[in-house]
Amino acid sequence: MTGPKLALTDSDLTTLATDVVVVGTVQGPDGLVLADGAAAVDAAFEGGLVGILDTLGAKGRAEEVVKLPTLGKLAAPLLIAVGLGKPGADGAVSEEQVRRAAGAAARALAGRKRAVTTLSAVHLGAAVEGTLLGGYSFTDYKSEAGDGPVGKLDLATPAEGSLKDHRAALKASTAIAEAVTTTRDLVNTPPNDLFPASFAERAAALGKAAGLEVEVLDEKALRKAGFGGILGVGMGSSRPPRLVHLSYVGPKAGKKVALVGKGITFDTGGISIKPAAGMDEMTSDMGGAAAVVATMVLAAKLKYPLAIEAWVPMAENMPSGSAYRPGDVLTMYGGKTVEVLNTDAEGRLILSDAIARACEDEPDYLIETSTLTGAAVVALGKKTAGVMGSDEFRDRVAATGRAVGENAWAMPLPEELRADLDSRLADLANVMGHRWGGMLAAGIFLSEFVAEGVQWAHLDIAGPSWHSGGPSGYTTKGGTGVPVRTLAAVLADIAANG
Ligand code: BES
Ligand code: MN
Ligand code: ZN
């Protein structure tokens, strides 16, 4: 999907030739008030805009959309007032509030040729992200695409700050939002069309276009190098597995970062097959991989001063006469052996191979993300990622996620659970004999493959990577693109602070 054309404007919004003017409203302590950036528009209504909106029932509640014909008060025939909700304790409206309001406004603008928004005067970057993400829709498989997003959106320039900074913010936020929509597109592509080889091709094409170095290991190369986890999981499918390696070396590259993402293009559970109800959602079991690929493209676009190596394992988990079975022992990359007690705990098997390989390059930081466990959804719900790993880095990643509006919460790796992964015959088993602490056990399994001295974080995105309800804020149905914005913010933080 291509989003609207975005441009900063300093024009007088009351005379600007456009179809719609968007203003923000706030649920103040004493009732409805206008957000920053709406003063000139209000003046065109002789200061009566709050009164008119109040008559129409507006409260300023989050994502409330009220439409008003301007009857000649503005050059634009329509005004849309979108709610930001209550301001915070400091009296200010947060970036996340603007992101959500901009998302709701973007949907209200669908099909229009041209509009101007004043939400950008409140928080420019958040308005850009909310607009591009909230207006997203995946129509590749629809015979009729329906209303597309608004064609061109002018962004009122914030009152403070330099034009140079505003331009940089517009560019960075556009790139970040595009990385999110790339991730959504990949996740939303159905599993008959997105399988390991086709996913690898798309990842390679995206990587090459961004100037990354790209290497794709096919099943022969995987066998030669000893990637037993990826091969074992991929055995059941007629469509063999892949491992995609993307490299980025930035200008004045400082820290070395490794990224790993789970790329199960469809998870039936394998021989330990899943129930039919809801199995279709397992089209999203490559959300971690998609996020990592898109983040690599973003890193190249924003030229982070880092060296980043991404290792992205891709496989389809199918039951068949050639499938791996409960009871099999796999020899993983690096030589550790794993007894497979449940073929539905496949993510950790492909990820461990990739983590072990990534650690050979001695990264300072390793970030891995995966739709790994249903237990994460039970513990944290559909909107919050569970973050495990090295104590300090785990907390940093979780806090960074929360700061950009992707909820994340630090989770422990209790050492007593390690014994529950002991195997009768191999170095470890892929599941415990019980289900208590299933999210944490998966994290402990992965930790066995992380090299000493590497600061690492594992983000279990089983809940937040997929949205089953209707659109809300800037979150649309299907793939959400989580945790791209967390990854981007963590990389920017490492670039700035080490
Ligand atoms: N891909 C699933 C996890 C998942 C569940 C993601 C729900 C998104 C929504 C994963 O491969 C899986 O099947 N995990 C098992 C692990 C179990 C066998 C230890 C699970 O969570 O049931
Ligand atoms: Mn599974
Ligand atoms: Zn899975």
Active site residues: 274, 348
**Do 230 and 124 share a structural domain?**
no
CA of 365 to the centre of ligand 2 (A): 27
Pair type for strands 20-28 and 114-117: parallel
**Do 254 and 124 share a structural domain?**
no
**Do 310 and 216 share a structural domain?**
yes
**Do 223 and 139 share a structural domain?**
no
The predicted-structure confidence for 285-298, as pLDDT tens digits, reads as follows 999 999 999 999 99
> Which pLDDT score is estimated for 63?
96
**170 within a domain of the structure (yes/no):** no
**167 within a domain of the structure (yes/no):** no
Atom from ligand 1 closest to the CA of residue 285:
1
Average pLDDT over residues 274-288: 98
CA-proximal residue: ligand 1, atom 14 (nearest): 373
CA-proximal residue: ligand 1, atom 5 (nearest): 374
**328 within a domain of the structure (yes/no):** yes
**83 within a domain of the structure (yes/no):** yes
Place of tokens 């309001």: 101
Residue 37 has pLDDT above 70, yes or no: yes
Using a 6 Å cutoff on CB, does residue 431 contact ligand 1? Answer: yes
Domain boundary among 117, 137, 154: 154
**237 within a domain of the structure (yes/no):** yes
State how far the alpha carbon of 13 is from the alpha carbons of 23, 37, 124, 157, 162, in Å. Answer: 11, 10, 17, 11, 20
CA distance 442 to 361: 24
Using a 6 Å cutoff on CB, does residue 406 contact ligand 1? Answer: no
Please tell me the total number of residues recorded for the chain in this structure: 498
% the chain with pLDDT above 90: 99
CB 456 within 8 A of CB 363: no
> Which pLDDT score is estimated for 253?
83
**Do 143 and 276 share a structural domain?**
no
The predicted-structure confidence for 455-492, as pLDDT tens digits, reads as follows 999 999 999 999 999 999 999 999 999 999 999 999 99
Q: Is the dihedral of CA 142, 146, 152, 153 positive or negative?
A: negative
CA of 264 to the centre of ligand 3 (A): 6
Average pLDDT over residues 432-451: 98
Give the global pTM.
0.98
Contacts of 45 (CB under 8 A, 6+ apart): 52, 73
> Which pLDDT score is estimated for 222?
99
Ligand nearest to the CA of 430: 1
285 assigned ligand-binding residue: yes
**Do 474 and 373 share a structural domain?**
yes
Secondary structure letter of residue 119 according to DSSP: G
Average pLDDT over residues 85-99: 97
The predicted-structure confidence for 46-75, as pLDDT tens digits, reads as follows 999 999 999 999 999 999 999 999 999 999
**Do 204 and 103 share a structural domain?**
no
For residue 10, give its domain range: 5-154
Average pLDDT over residues 411-432: 98
Name 464's bridge partners.
none
> Which pLDDT score is estimated for 1?
59
**172 within a domain of the structure (yes/no):** no
Q: SS3 of 33, please? A: strand
Pair type for strands 329-331 and 307-317: unpaired
- In the structure encoding, which two tokens stand for residue 179, read together? 């990385």
**Do 18 and 106 share a structural domain?**
yes
Place of tokens 């591009």: 132
CA-proximal residue: ligand 1, atom 22 (nearest): 374
Write out the residues surrounding ion ligand 2, Cβ under 5 A.
Answer: 267, 344
262 assigned ligand-binding residue: yes
CA of 198 to the centre of ligand 1 (A): 23
Atom from ligand 1 closest to the CA of residue 441:
19
Q: SS3 of 96, please? A: helix
Residue 307 has pLDDT above 90, yes or no: yes
267 assigned ligand-binding residue: yes
Residue 88 has pLDDT above 90, yes or no: yes
Domain boundary among 106, 136, 154: 154
CB 120 within 8 A of CB 4: no
Write out the residues surrounding ion ligand 3, Cβ under 5 A.
Answer: 264, 267, 285, 347
Using a 6 Å cutoff on CB, does residue 267 contact ligand 1? Answer: yes
Using a 6 Å cutoff on CB, does residue 285 contact ligand 1? Answer: yes
> Which pLDDT score is estimated for 78?
98
Using a 6 Å cutoff on CB, does residue 460 contact ligand 1? Answer: no
**Do 251 and 215 share a structural domain?**
yes
Virtual CA dihedral for 100, 290, 125, 43, nearest 10 degrees? -40
CATH number, residue 462? 3.40.630.10
The predicted-structure confidence for 201-247, as pLDDT tens digits, reads as follows 999 999 999 999 999 999 999 999 999 999 999 999 999 999 999 99
> Which pLDDT score is estimated for 434?
97
Chain-centre distance of CA 381, in angstroms?
A: 16
**H-type alpha helices, 210-319:** 219-225, 228-234, 287-302
**364 within a domain of the structure (yes/no):** yes
Model confidence band, residue 332 (pLDDT cutoffs 50, 70, 90): very high
Average pLDDT over residues 256-276: 99
Helix axes 196-209 and 287-302, enclosed angle (nearest 10):
10
CB 23 within 8 A of CB 41: yes
**Do 247 and 395 share a structural domain?**
yes
Q: SS3 of 269, please? A: coil
**359 within a domain of the structure (yes/no):** yes
Contacts of 86 (CB under 8 A, 6+ apart): 26, 27, 28
Using a 6 Å cutoff on CB, does residue 204 contact ligand 1? Answer: no
> Which pLDDT score is estimated for 336?
98
Domain boundary among 139, 154, 169: 154
Q: Is 187 exposed, middle or buried (0-12, 13-18, 19+ CB in 10 A)?
A: buried
- In the structure encoding, which two tokens stand for residue 161, read together? 């700050």
> Which pLDDT score is estimated for 145?
84
CA distance 98 to 121: 10
- In the structure encoding, which two tokens stand for residue 216, read together? 């794709």
CATH number, residue 89? 3.40.220.10
Atom from ligand 1 closest to the CA of residue 431:
19
Ligand 1, from 282, 370, 373, 430: best to mutate by most atoms within 8 Å of Cβ?
Answer: 373
Residue 2 has pLDDT above 90, yes or no: no
Determine the number of helices (DSSP H) and then strands (DSSP E) in the chain.
Answer: 14, 21
CB 139 within 8 A of CB 167: no
Residue 144 has pLDDT above 80, yes or no: yes
**Do 339 and 242 share a structural domain?**
yes
Name 410's bridge partners.
387
Residue 388 has pLDDT above 80, yes or no: yes
Atom from ligand 1 closest to the CA of residue 375:
21
CA of 49 to the centre of ligand 1 (A): 51
Average pLDDT over residues 111-138: 98
Using a 6 Å cutoff on CB, does residue 64 contact ligand 1? Answer: no
Number of domains in the chain: 2
Ligand nearest to the CA of 319: 2
**Do 216 and 121 share a structural domain?**
no
CA atoms within 13 A on the CB side of 391: 1
Residue 318 has pLDDT above 80, yes or no: yes
CA of 380 to the centre of ligand 3 (A): 18
